[in-house]
Chains A and B, each alone.
Chain A
Amino acid sequence: MIRLEHVQKTYRTDRIETVALTDIDLDVEKGAFLSIMGPSGCGKSTLLNLMGLLDRPSEGTVRLDGEAVASWEDKRLARLRNQRIGFIFQSFHLIPDLQVVDNVEIPLLYRSSSAGERRRTALAAIERVGLGSRAHHFPSQLSGGQQQRVAVARAIVGRPDLLLADEPTGNLDSHMGDEIMDLLEELNQEHGTAVVMVTHDERLAGRTQRTVRLFDGRQVA
């Protein structure tokens, strides 16, 4: 489904150049369940951003369903981000001035659906991550783990076929982490959602079909 070919990413700031990714080749097929592992700073989030169409590679090609995305215009990219990709950010990125349910609703705002339908879908997603009783709280009133689950709910609310999860269990105890992992597995198995998950937990990585290991921006396994 999404395919990276000889992808390289270099960040340029004033004088310093950071090579975050070098020569990455990766193919995520429909229905795949991948984990990405590697030490801090090795380029995992950068890789996920490229797959999520949130950034452009410095070199190489990103293909979606065989088509190179480089030349696509904003409107088309926006539609894909909205309908096909679900992204769980490492630092959640919840909007602090909106209640949980309004945060989770955001992807649905950019589609055609009625307000009532949006609300129902959002509440169902919140229920799924076990936060039903917190739907009308503000993010600042939640623990880190709860905020992470809101981010998960927001990523799955639109039923994407590619779920990109940047350490979705990073702030959770092993019990809650397992529950989120169960949820991802369920989406993968029952709906055929392709899942790419960054994790530091070998145990969770062991539950996926394949583990990509990065070191210093290179793919080592």
Chain B
Amino acid sequence: MTRHLLKLLWNRRSANALVGLEVLVAFLVLFAVLAAAAHYWDYYRRPLGFDPTDVWAVEIEAGTDMAEPSALNPAVARFLPELRSMEPVVDAAATIWAPYRQAGWTTTWSVGERSSDVRLFNGSDTLDRVLGMELLRGRWFGPEDDGSGRTPMVVNEAFVDALVDDGDGLGQVIVDEDRNPLPGGGEELVRRERVIVGVVEEFRPKGELQKPEPSAILRPRLEGELSNDDYLSALLLKMRPGTPATIEQTVNDRLLSMAPEFSFRLQPLEAARTEYLQRLTPLLVPALIAAFLLLMVALGLTGVLWQAVTQRIRELGLRRAKGATLARIRRQILAETLLLTLAATTLGGLLVLQLPFTGWFPQLRPAVLIPALVLATAVTALLTSLAALYPSWLATRVEPAEALRWE
């Protein structure tokens, strides 16, 4: 029977090639949609590395630009104890940007042979407590790091994986040298040393869809000789649960009374998170287009398979007249369709597996590629089976004599 089926498939190769092409297209569209979904879902489900609950962000503005560290940081040093003394404030910290702000900076660091892009973030001594961050090992930086001559930093696991040869990363020193142009011509070599004092699993302040990558949180200095390493622009306040929104005014007034040269914008991080997720709604448009595309593909597939089967109703009637049971007929249709699907999805799978080698889609990491491939194959097989079984069910509902007369 298998040989008989294979012969039938082969002798109908041109018709089957068309059906197979349709199946292949369905498979590829499904794969593309599922890979995109898997990509975003994979990011979404990963840890953020912080907890926005009951945290308010205070963004500090000085005109249009970011305030220079020399102007802002001494003020921040005064703000923090003052804010901590306020009744509903549990703790306060300063950061380069408030979480969910779509800002960031990246640099390239090397250790020995290794080199990696690193996402940098500045956060003050108490940031771990304000954002409920948990260290995997080591410690958060603090006053004990004063005067060491090296900037202490807390990094994520990806950072350790990318830049540290062996060991847990603690104590690893990263040296980086910048050439800064001098006003009178020529340049000066600026050498900075940074040291890892703690490791967190993850830190993705830009939000749920931020790409996981090597990241470092550097300790900014608040006073003394300040540099580019010390930029700050936001305060984060951990409030007691249930703090009313009226606190916004109280905090704003207090800060303005201390530093009228700045303006302050307050927002609970949870509101920022909601806004952030709402800003993702445009992503629904491609999702809708994808859904529409899938629908068209499913309809096309049903149509093609429907035609293939109805054209064969007389053949099915003949097989019944010659002794095939209904179950046997359905098995034959299913086997033919699945063989065709197998051929098409294998071809599709081989095509898709070439994509990572092209380097065009770095998003196609194994965590995305494999589930998308498996799901696309399963859904294609399910779709084709249903699309083939329904007309074959219609065809076998009638007596063989009627099927044989089918036009």
* A contact set with B: CB distance below 8 Å: 49, 52, 54-56, 74-75, 78-79, 81-83, 87, 89, 93, 95, 97-98, 102, 105-107, 109-111, 115, 154, 158
Shortest Cβ distance from B324 into A: residue: A110
Once the chains are docked, how many angstroms separate the CA of A29 from the CA of B201? Answer: 87
- In the docked arrangement, what's the CA distance between A81 and B329, Å? 15
Cβ-defined contact, B325 with A97, below 8 A: no
CA distance A176 to B278 in the complex (A): 82
CB pair A97–B399 under 8 Å, yes or no, is no
B180 interfacial by beta-carbon distance below 8 Å: no
Closest A residue to B398 by beta carbon equals A55
Chain B interface bracket (under 10, 10 to 19, 20 to 34, 35 or more) = 20 to 34
Residue A107 contacts which of B8, B323, B404 (CB distance < 8 angstroms)? B323
| Chain A residue contacts of B317, Cβ below 8 A | 93
Residue pair A97, B11 in contact (C-beta under 8 Å):
yes
A78 in complex: contacting residue of B1, B11, B323, B402, CB < 8 Å: B323
Distance between Cα atoms of A31 and B295 in the complex (Å): 59
Q: What chain A residues lie within 8 Å of B401 (beta carbons)? A: 49, 54-55
Main secondary structure, interface of B, reads helix
- Chain B residues, Cβ within 8 Å of A74: 325-327
Instruction: Determine the residue in chain B with the shortest Cβ distance to A48.
Output: B401
Asked if B279 is at the interface (CB within 8 A of a chain A CB), the reply is no
- Whether A81 pairs with B322 at a CB distance below 8 angstroms is yes
Shortest 4 CB-CB contacts between residues of A and residues of B: A82-B323, A55-B401, A110-B323, A54-B401
Name B11's contact: one of A81, A98, A107 (CB within 8 Å): A98
**Given A81-B323, A95-B315, does the pair A110, B8 have CB atoms closer than 8 Å?**
no
Please give the distance in Å from B6's CB to the nearest CB on chain A: 11
Q: A98-B11, A109-B4 are in contact. Are A82 and B326 (CB under 8 A)?
A: no
- Chain B contacts with A in 312-343, Cβ cutoff 8 A: 314-315, 317-328
Which of A54, A75, A79, A87 has most B Cβ within 10 Å?
A: A54
- Most chain B C-beta atoms within 10 Å of own C-beta, residue among A52, A82, A158: A82
Beyond A107-B323, A109-B324, 18 additional contacts (C-beta under 8 Å) are A56-B399, A74-B327, A75-B327, A78-B323, A78-B325, A78-B326, A81-B322, A87-B321, A93-B314, A98-B11, A105-B4, A106-B319, A106-B322, A107-B322, A109-B1, A109-B4, A115-B3, A154-B322
